Structure 1
Amino acid sequence: MSSWQDGRGPTMIDPREGRALRQRDPLDDVRAAHDGARRAQVGYGPRSSRRPPRRTFASFLRTFVRRWGWRAYAIPVLAVVTVVALMTSSATSKPAKPLAEAMGASNSATSPPPAPAQMPLKGDATNAGDNNVALKGYALPSGPAYTTKGNGTFRVLKGTSPVVGRGKLYRYSIDVENGVKGIDLAQYQALIVSVLSDKRSWSGHGVSLQRVDSGPIDFHITLTSSLTVRTYCGYSIPVETSCYAPAGAVDGLTTNRVIFNDARWVRGSAAYVGDVALYRIYMINHEDGHALGHNHAHQCLPGGLAPAMMQQSFGLRSAVTKQICQANPWPYPPGVSGAPGAEQPDTSKNDEYKLGD
């Protein structure tokens, strides 16, 4: 028996249970399709009671490689390179500094001790006593050739500089003996001006300096051949030395003259272990120190550095304390107390030449 209910089609009675069975409505397929589309639009879908398979790292890696091909290998490599680059760039390392900055700067401004009024400043090659044997440590290091004999006359190299430092003004010229060859004179001049303008040098510590090429000149700084050096510095110590020769020390010498031995300029000193550039700074500060009124110093500075006025060409052992100092080219090395060091006139008891190595 059938009947109509709710306008949805005939209903049949199940004879076994006595309950009504609704016949299949042709619109059910339409409704089902409509409901499925609506669920798909809002992101719903049929749920399955079956749990999806569990993915392993190996299966993920295989899928990743199949999808990306060679890029799958390139990506981790690039990641490692990027990490290494970041670590390298973040490392803090101090860049190498130029030689003129290698030992920092000093702002000390103390006046130099006055030279004794009753005696002229002495050159480095004096007071050798009866010792006429050059010890091994004093020997000139091996190296390039140098001019052994110029013609004994000098010329002023053209060039000037501003006044540097504070205190009494000294005007200097830069000269070379005629006949000296094989030396870069532009480099020679530039180094002298640079060193004497440095705060670690004499300028600003009771004196001021200016390079000139004419007019009044307090002292000449002269590059001189090794045999001509002996005319001004003597040769009682039979090793190559430089010196300061005050006016009147030698016949015909009317102006103070700093004498740089070209043998030392080219080859340096054993005390500087082959560092000719650093030894040249020492030459400039030491010999010009004499021209500015300084005597030799014979004791290490606090901390162990040799004072610039020690005769470092002869060695680094103090004649007074027998302590071996550390090579140092600057009168006022940064962070060192007691600079430029205790200075005394030379005597037989403080002669570094006799000590050897």
Structure 2
Amino acid sequence: MPLLALLMLVLLVTSCASAPPAPSPTPTPSPSPSRPQPPPAPRKRPAEEVWVPYSASGRYTVVPGGAPARPGSGEVVRYVVEVEAGLPFDPAVFAADVHRVLNDVRGWARFERVDHGPAQVRVALSSPLLTTLQCRPLRTGGELSCWNGTRSVINALRWAKGVPQYRGDLAAYRAYVISHEVGHSLGHGHEPCPGPGRLAPVMTQQSKSLDRCRPNPWPHPDRGPSEDRGP
């Protein structure tokens, strides 16, 4: 073999032997099993506000249908539920709320809802304007409710919004306003707060002020909660 060719062969072999090995591909780490993530917590939605018009149709409509008094002893009071046409409330839902409150064991008595015939009490959901007209000569200021001698007139504005004294517990305030105004129809008058920190009698004007009492929507709160769901 010529000397030049032998020299080139030696250089080629040396070059190949000293070349660094080709880098092996870096293995991709296998993903670790992920822990199951809890579903995102639902966002709290603000309570839906109902816009109550100052005036509606000015006409009452009797809510059709009836409901029996709760079982028990004692006199049964027949009553009718009326709703002014044009208000943003379902009459059937209002009637069911009224019946549940009146027949709670903490309430006044046993009430049978009827839609015809003689009735001792009428409970009427009314716009602020109709409340003002129905309650004269009492002054409601477009906000208060009243007993006008024939009806427990429930101001729809209060029914929708409640009062600050009840700290956002609209169900409890609704129970109060029904119990209070129907209490007038049964012959009960206003009562003062008996002392700081005590439960306000249901016939205290709690829509105006608690006068250092605690809110109370029931005539007989000591009887315990009703078995039915309610305030």
Q: Which moved more, 1:165-174 or 1:269-278?
A: 165-174
Among 217, 236, 241, which residue is 2:144 paired with?
Answer: 241
How far apart are the structure 2 equivalents of 1:335 and 1:214?
32
Q: Is the 8 A contact 1:146 1:266 kept in 2?
A: yes
Alignment deviations for residues 44-79 of structure 1 (CA, whole Å, 9 cap, x no partner): xxxxxxxxxxxxxxxxxxxxxxxxxxxxxxxxxxxx
Matched, 1:266 2:172: no
Relative to the length of structure 1, the TM-score reads 0.46
Alignment deviations for residues 181-200 of structure 1 (CA, whole Å, 9 cap, x no partner): x2233321111111111110
Letter in 2 for 1:331: P
Q: Is the 8 A contact 2:159 2:174 kept in 1?
A: yes
Alignment deviations for residues 107-159 of structure 1 (CA, whole Å, 9 cap, x no partner): xxxxxxxxxxxxxxxxxxxxxxxxxxxxxxxxxxxx53112112221111112
Matched, 1:231 2:133: yes
**Identity score, percent:** 39
Q: Is the 8 A contact 2:132 2:142 kept in 1?
A: no
| Residue equivalent to 1:321 | none
Structure 2 counterparts to residues 1-357 of structure 1, below 5 A: 143-164=49-70, 165-180=72-87, 182-203=88-109, 208-234=110-136, 236=139, 238=141, 240-246=143-149, 256-300=150-194, 304-317=198-211, 324-334=212-222
What's the secondary structure of 1:195's corresponding residue? Answer: helix
Q: Is the 8 A contact 1:177 1:223 kept in 2?
A: yes
Q: CA deviation at 1:301?
A: 7.2
The 3 A distance-change label for structure 1 pair 315 and 239 is farther
Identify unmatched segments of 5+ residues in structure 1. Answer: 1-142, 247-255, 318-323, 337-357
When the two chains are superposed, the root-mean-square deviation of aligned CA atoms in Å is: 2.1
Based on CA coordinates, which of the two structures has the bigger radius of gyration? 1
Relative to the length of structure 2, the TM-score reads 0.69
Q: CA deviation at 1:303?
A: 6.6
What's the secondary structure of 1:334's corresponding residue? Answer: helix
Q: CA deviation at 1:237?
A: 5.2
The 3 A distance-change label for structure 1 pair 239 and 298 is farther
- What count of residue pairs does the alignment treat as equivalent? 174
**Which of structure 1's runs of 4+ aligned residues deviate more than 4 A?**
none
